[in-house]
């Protein structure tokens, strides 16, 4: 059996590199498919159609922080003077028991579910750059029965949900999914 020469090995490596260079694959989350002329994105407070006070503020704040952290845009809360406006609506927020304590019959784990609709619109052309009318996010939290160590877990669960929603939304907007 004959050993391949170093020239043929180098040629094979070069051929493989050239063949895979134009295959179209890229790492997700690295692009920005928004128009290059956008400099300022406004994220006014989301509309809240639920009885949960403050939920819209938590979600709006998380989205603003995610845009600031991950993009080059100036992010403002007022639509005046912005190049694009991201409007959101909290359509529904519910809780439901998931796990019951076998001794007491009471819920020990609860799921919170939030449904949202968002739209990003170019202020100059009025073109809708991104729209999703059916975001659905869920998060679970435990309910303690020990009153001495009681700590309300709903707020941390909503904070996690808001961060997950914001990360998903910003990725979708940037990648134009």
Compute the distance between CA of residue 131 and CA of residue 119 in angstroms, rounded to an integer.
Answer: 4
| 29 in any annotated domain | no
Mean pLDDT of 129-147: 88
| 151 in any annotated domain | yes
Give me the pLDDT at residue 118, please.
Answer: 98
Q: Is the pTM of this model over 0.85?
A: no
Torsion-angle region of 14 (φ positive above 0: left; ψ -120 to 50: alpha; else: beta): alpha
Q: What is the CATH number of the domain that holds 156?
A: 3.40.50.10610
| 19 in any annotated domain | no
| 15 in any annotated domain | no
Least confident of 63-67, 72-76, 104-108: 104-108
Q: What is the span of the domain harbouring residue 154? A: 34-175
| 1 in any annotated domain | no
Domain count, the chain: 1
| 154 in any annotated domain | yes
* Cross-strand pairs, 48: 90
> CA 151 from chain center: how many Å?
27
């Amino acid at each position: 059996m004959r050993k391949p020469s170093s020239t043929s090995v180098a040629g094979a490596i070069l051929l493989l590199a050239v063949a895979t260079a134009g295959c179209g694959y890229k790492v997700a989350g690295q692009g920005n498919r928004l128009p290059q002329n956008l400099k300022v994105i406004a994220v006014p407070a989301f509309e809240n159609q639920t009885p949960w006070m403050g939920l819209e503020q938590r979600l709006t704040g998380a989205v603003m922080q995610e845009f600031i952290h991950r993009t080059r845009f100036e992010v403002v809360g007022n639509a005046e003077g912005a190049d694009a406006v991201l409007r959101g609506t909290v359509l529904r927020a519910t809780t439901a028991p998931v796990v019951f304590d076998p001794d007491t019959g009471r819920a020990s784990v609860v799921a919170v579910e939030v449904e949202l609709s968002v739209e990003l619109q170019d202020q100059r052309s009025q073109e809708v750059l991104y729209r999703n009318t059916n975001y659905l996010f869920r998060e679970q939290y435990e309910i303690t029965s020990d009153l001495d160590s009681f700590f309300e877990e709903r707020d941390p669960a909503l904070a996690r949900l808001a961060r997950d929603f914001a990360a998903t939304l910003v990725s979708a907007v940037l990648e134009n999914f």
